[in-house]
Structure 1
Amino acid sequence: MTLFSSSLLSKWGFNDGDDPCDWLDYCEANDIDHANVDFPLVELVRRFLVPQIDQQVTVVEIETIHNPIRAETVDGVDMTEVWFGRAPEPALTPEYVEVPMGEVACLALELHERAEATR
Protein backbone atom coordinates (compact mmCIF):
# COMPACT_ATOMS: atom_id res chain seq x y z
CA MET A 1 0.00 0.00 0.00
CA THR A 2 1.45 3.34 -1.04
CA LEU A 3 0.67 6.36 1.12
CA PHE A 4 1.54 9.62 -0.66
CA SER A 5 2.61 12.53 1.54
CA SER A 6 0.88 15.03 -0.74
CA SER A 7 -2.46 13.40 0.08
CA LEU A 8 -2.25 15.09 3.48
CA LEU A 9 -2.58 18.42 1.70
CA SER A 10 -5.80 17.84 -0.21
CA LYS A 11 -9.50 17.47 0.41
CA TRP A 12 -9.34 14.74 -2.26
CA GLY A 13 -6.20 13.00 -0.96
CA PHE A 14 -5.92 9.30 -0.18
CA ASN A 15 -8.31 8.31 -2.96
CA ASP A 16 -10.81 10.91 -1.71
CA GLY A 17 -11.16 8.81 1.45
CA ASP A 18 -12.51 5.80 -0.46
CA ASP A 19 -11.20 2.28 0.11
CA PRO A 20 -8.35 1.58 -2.32
CA CYS A 21 -8.91 -1.13 -4.93
CA ASP A 22 -5.76 -2.92 -3.72
CA TRP A 23 -7.33 -3.26 -0.26
CA LEU A 24 -10.59 -4.60 -1.67
CA ASP A 25 -8.69 -7.10 -3.83
CA TYR A 26 -6.57 -8.20 -0.87
CA CYS A 27 -9.69 -8.69 1.27
CA GLU A 28 -11.36 -10.78 -1.41
CA ALA A 29 -8.27 -12.94 -1.90
CA ASN A 30 -7.87 -13.47 1.86
CA ASP A 31 -11.49 -13.96 2.95
CA ILE A 32 -11.70 -10.67 4.83
CA ASP A 33 -15.15 -9.11 4.80
CA HIS A 34 -14.30 -5.53 3.83
CA ALA A 35 -17.91 -4.54 4.49
CA ASN A 36 -17.31 -5.24 8.20
CA VAL A 37 -13.55 -4.61 8.49
CA ASP A 38 -12.82 -0.97 7.71
CA PHE A 39 -9.75 0.13 5.81
CA PRO A 40 -7.61 1.72 8.56
CA LEU A 41 -6.56 4.87 6.68
CA VAL A 42 -6.31 7.25 9.63
CA GLU A 43 -4.27 4.85 11.74
CA LEU A 44 -2.02 3.94 8.78
CA VAL A 45 -1.27 7.61 8.20
CA ARG A 46 -0.58 8.22 11.90
CA ARG A 47 1.63 5.14 12.36
CA PHE A 48 3.46 4.85 9.06
CA LEU A 49 3.38 8.11 7.09
CA VAL A 50 3.54 11.05 9.48
CA PRO A 51 6.57 9.75 11.46
CA GLN A 52 8.55 9.44 8.20
CA ILE A 53 7.90 12.96 6.90
CA ASP A 54 10.95 15.20 7.15
CA GLN A 55 8.91 18.34 7.80
CA GLN A 56 7.13 19.01 11.10
CA VAL A 57 3.53 17.99 10.34
CA THR A 58 0.50 18.06 12.61
CA VAL A 59 -2.60 16.25 11.38
CA VAL A 60 -6.28 16.66 12.04
CA GLU A 61 -9.14 14.18 11.57
CA ILE A 62 -12.19 15.53 9.79
CA GLU A 63 -15.64 13.96 9.64
CA THR A 64 -16.34 14.14 5.92
CA ILE A 65 -17.11 12.01 2.89
CA HIS A 66 -13.72 13.08 1.53
CA ASN A 67 -10.19 12.61 2.83
CA PRO A 68 -10.61 12.22 6.63
CA ILE A 69 -7.02 13.01 7.71
CA ARG A 70 -5.09 16.08 6.61
CA ALA A 71 -2.08 18.16 7.53
CA GLU A 72 -3.26 20.94 9.80
CA THR A 73 0.17 22.55 9.85
CA VAL A 74 3.50 22.04 8.08
CA ASP A 75 6.49 23.57 9.84
CA GLY A 76 4.06 25.69 11.85
CA VAL A 77 2.20 27.08 8.82
CA ASP A 78 -1.58 26.55 8.62
CA MET A 79 -2.57 24.31 5.69
CA THR A 80 -6.36 24.71 5.58
CA GLU A 81 -6.25 26.96 2.49
CA VAL A 82 -4.00 24.42 0.76
CA TRP A 83 -6.64 21.68 1.18
CA PHE A 84 -8.90 23.47 -1.29
CA GLY A 85 -6.20 24.60 -3.72
CA ARG A 86 -6.33 28.23 -2.56
CA ALA A 87 -2.68 28.34 -1.45
CA PRO A 88 0.55 26.84 -2.78
CA GLU A 89 1.28 23.30 -1.68
CA PRO A 90 4.56 22.77 0.20
CA ALA A 91 6.76 19.86 -0.84
CA LEU A 92 6.66 17.04 1.69
CA THR A 93 9.43 14.47 1.82
CA PRO A 94 9.59 11.60 1.39
CA GLU A 95 7.08 11.60 -1.44
CA TYR A 96 5.51 8.38 -0.19
CA VAL A 97 5.89 5.39 2.11
CA GLU A 98 5.07 1.77 1.40
CA VAL A 99 3.20 -0.41 3.89
CA PRO A 100 2.96 -4.16 3.18
CA MET A 101 -0.63 -5.19 2.65
CA GLY A 102 -0.25 -7.89 5.31
CA GLU A 103 0.49 -5.16 7.88
CA VAL A 104 -2.51 -3.17 6.65
CA ALA A 105 -4.72 -6.23 7.15
CA CYS A 106 -3.31 -6.96 10.61
CA LEU A 107 -3.97 -3.38 11.66
CA ALA A 108 -7.49 -3.43 10.20
CA LEU A 109 -8.33 -6.69 11.98
CA GLU A 110 -6.82 -5.43 15.24
CA LEU A 111 -8.93 -2.25 15.12
CA HIS A 112 -12.02 -4.26 14.16
CA GLU A 113 -11.55 -6.67 17.07
CA ARG A 114 -10.98 -3.78 19.48
CA ALA A 115 -14.19 -2.09 18.28
CA GLU A 116 -16.14 -5.35 18.60
CA ALA A 117 -14.85 -5.87 22.16
CA THR A 118 -16.17 -2.46 23.23
CA ARG A 119 -19.69 -3.11 21.93
Structure 2
Amino acid sequence: MTEPTVTLSSSSLLSKWGFNDGDTPESWLDWCETQGIDYNALEFPLVALVRKHLAPAIEQTIEVTEIGTSHNPIRALTVDGVDVTEVWFGRAPAPNLTPDAVDVPMTEVLRLALEEAGLSEAPRHQGPSLR
Protein backbone atom coordinates (compact mmCIF):
# COMPACT_ATOMS: atom_id res chain seq x y z
CA MET A 1 0.00 0.00 0.00
CA THR A 2 1.38 3.40 -0.94
CA GLU A 3 1.51 6.25 1.50
CA PRO A 4 -1.05 9.03 1.02
CA THR A 5 0.34 12.24 -0.44
CA VAL A 6 -0.36 15.91 -0.91
CA THR A 7 -0.07 16.99 -4.55
CA LEU A 8 1.52 20.37 -5.25
CA SER A 9 0.68 21.71 -8.70
CA SER A 10 3.40 23.69 -10.48
CA SER A 11 0.83 25.99 -12.11
CA SER A 12 -0.27 27.09 -8.62
CA LEU A 13 2.96 29.07 -8.42
CA LEU A 14 1.60 31.28 -11.20
CA SER A 15 -1.75 32.26 -9.68
CA LYS A 16 -3.12 34.45 -6.92
CA TRP A 17 -5.60 31.62 -6.36
CA GLY A 18 -3.08 28.78 -6.55
CA PHE A 19 -2.74 25.98 -4.02
CA ASN A 20 -6.49 26.03 -3.40
CA ASP A 21 -6.34 29.80 -2.80
CA GLY A 22 -3.88 29.10 0.02
CA ASP A 23 -6.37 26.97 1.95
CA THR A 24 -5.36 23.78 3.72
CA PRO A 25 -5.95 20.74 1.47
CA GLU A 26 -8.81 18.43 2.41
CA SER A 27 -6.50 15.44 1.90
CA TRP A 28 -4.27 16.71 4.75
CA LEU A 29 -7.24 17.29 7.06
CA ASP A 30 -8.63 13.84 6.28
CA TRP A 31 -5.26 12.16 6.84
CA CYS A 32 -4.76 13.94 10.17
CA GLU A 33 -8.25 12.86 11.19
CA THR A 34 -7.50 9.19 10.46
CA GLN A 35 -4.22 9.47 12.42
CA GLY A 36 -5.89 11.12 15.43
CA ILE A 37 -3.83 14.29 14.89
CA ASP A 38 -5.31 17.63 15.96
CA TYR A 39 -4.75 19.58 12.74
CA ASN A 40 -6.12 22.71 14.42
CA ALA A 41 -2.95 22.76 16.54
CA LEU A 42 -0.66 22.72 13.47
CA GLU A 43 -0.27 25.06 10.52
CA PHE A 44 -0.23 23.38 7.12
CA PRO A 45 3.38 24.01 5.96
CA LEU A 46 2.62 25.14 2.40
CA VAL A 47 5.56 27.53 2.03
CA ALA A 48 8.06 24.97 3.36
CA LEU A 49 6.60 22.27 1.10
CA VAL A 50 6.93 24.49 -1.96
CA ARG A 51 10.47 25.57 -1.07
CA LYS A 52 11.72 22.07 -0.20
CA HIS A 53 9.82 19.87 -2.66
CA LEU A 54 8.12 21.71 -5.53
CA ALA A 55 10.54 24.52 -6.43
CA PRO A 56 13.63 22.25 -6.60
CA ALA A 57 11.74 19.79 -8.85
CA ILE A 58 10.79 22.40 -11.47
CA GLU A 59 12.96 22.12 -14.56
CA GLN A 60 12.79 25.83 -15.39
CA THR A 61 14.77 28.35 -13.35
CA ILE A 62 12.30 29.95 -10.96
CA GLU A 63 12.48 32.49 -8.19
CA VAL A 64 9.70 32.26 -5.61
CA THR A 65 8.45 34.94 -3.27
CA GLU A 66 6.28 34.88 -0.16
CA ILE A 67 3.31 37.22 -0.01
CA GLY A 68 1.39 38.24 3.11
CA THR A 69 -2.14 37.63 1.86
CA SER A 70 -5.28 35.65 2.53
CA HIS A 71 -4.75 34.06 -0.89
CA ASN A 72 -1.89 31.93 -2.20
CA PRO A 73 1.10 32.94 -0.02
CA ILE A 74 3.94 31.67 -2.26
CA ARG A 75 4.30 32.34 -5.97
CA ALA A 76 6.84 32.42 -8.75
CA LEU A 77 8.32 35.86 -9.17
CA THR A 78 10.38 34.97 -12.23
CA VAL A 79 10.58 32.01 -14.61
CA ASP A 80 13.79 31.70 -16.63
CA GLY A 81 14.61 35.30 -15.67
CA VAL A 82 11.28 36.73 -16.89
CA ASP A 83 8.97 38.55 -14.43
CA VAL A 84 5.69 36.61 -14.16
CA THR A 85 3.79 38.77 -11.65
CA GLU A 86 1.23 39.80 -14.31
CA VAL A 87 0.47 36.11 -14.79
CA TRP A 88 -0.78 35.90 -11.18
CA PHE A 89 -3.87 37.88 -12.13
CA GLY A 90 -4.42 36.43 -15.60
CA ARG A 91 -3.06 39.53 -17.35
CA ALA A 92 -0.28 37.68 -19.18
CA PRO A 93 0.11 34.18 -20.63
CA ALA A 94 1.49 31.63 -18.20
CA PRO A 95 4.73 29.84 -18.97
CA ASN A 96 4.65 26.06 -18.91
CA LEU A 97 6.29 24.67 -15.80
CA THR A 98 7.48 21.08 -15.69
CA PRO A 99 6.83 18.77 -14.06
CA ASP A 100 3.12 19.50 -13.71
CA ALA A 101 3.10 18.51 -10.05
CA VAL A 102 4.94 16.75 -7.25
CA ASP A 103 3.52 14.43 -4.62
CA VAL A 104 4.77 14.76 -1.06
CA PRO A 105 4.11 11.95 1.44
CA MET A 106 1.87 12.91 4.36
CA THR A 107 4.58 11.86 6.83
CA GLU A 108 6.88 14.49 5.28
CA VAL A 109 4.10 17.09 5.48
CA LEU A 110 3.70 16.21 9.15
CA ARG A 111 7.46 16.39 9.73
CA LEU A 112 7.59 19.90 8.26
CA ALA A 113 4.49 21.00 10.20
CA LEU A 114 6.03 19.75 13.45
CA GLU A 115 9.36 21.39 12.62
CA GLU A 116 7.67 24.73 11.98
CA ALA A 117 5.69 24.43 15.23
CA GLY A 118 8.77 23.45 17.21
CA LEU A 119 7.15 20.17 18.28
CA SER A 120 8.64 16.70 18.49
CA GLU A 121 5.35 14.84 18.21
CA ALA A 122 1.94 15.50 16.74
CA PRO A 123 -0.76 16.98 18.96
CA ARG A 124 -3.60 14.52 19.46
CA HIS A 125 -7.35 15.04 19.69
CA GLN A 126 -8.50 15.34 23.29
CA GLY A 127 -12.11 14.55 22.49
CA PRO A 128 -14.44 13.98 19.55
CA SER A 129 -13.50 15.69 16.33
CA LEU A 130 -15.36 18.90 15.51
CA ARG A 131 -15.03 18.36 11.79
Letter of the 2:99 counterpart: P
In the TM superposition, residue 27 of structure 1 has moved relative to its aligned partner by 1.2
SS at match of 1:98: strand
Q: d(CA) in 2 for partners of 1:63 and 1:34? A: 22
Q: Say whether residues 1:68 and 2:59 are aligned partners.
A: no
Letter of the 1:53 counterpart: I
Q: d(CA) in 2 for partners of 1:66 and 1:98? A: 22
- The alignment's TM-score, normalised by the length of structure 1, stands at 0.93
In the TM superposition, residue 31 of structure 1 has moved relative to its aligned partner by 2.0
Q: What does residue 84 of structure 1 align with?
A: 89
Q: What does residue 102 of structure 1 align with?
A: 107
Q: d(CA) in 2 for partners of 1:113 and 1:25? A: 23
- The gaps in structure 1 that reach 5 residues or longer are 115-119
- The gaps in structure 2 that reach 5 residues or longer are 1-5, 120-131
Give 4+ residue runs of structure 1 displaced > 3 Å after superposition: none
Q: What does residue 45 of structure 1 align with?
A: 50
In the TM superposition, residue 75 of structure 1 has moved relative to its aligned partner by 0.5
Higher helix share: 1
SS at match of 2:41: coil
Q: Say whether residues 1:3 and 2:8 are aligned partners.
A: yes
Q: How many residues align structurally?
A: 114
- The alignment's TM-score, normalised by the length of structure 2, stands at 0.84
Residue identity over aligned pairs, in percent, reads: 65
Q: What does residue 16 of structure 1 align with?
A: 21
Rg comparison, structure with higher value: 2
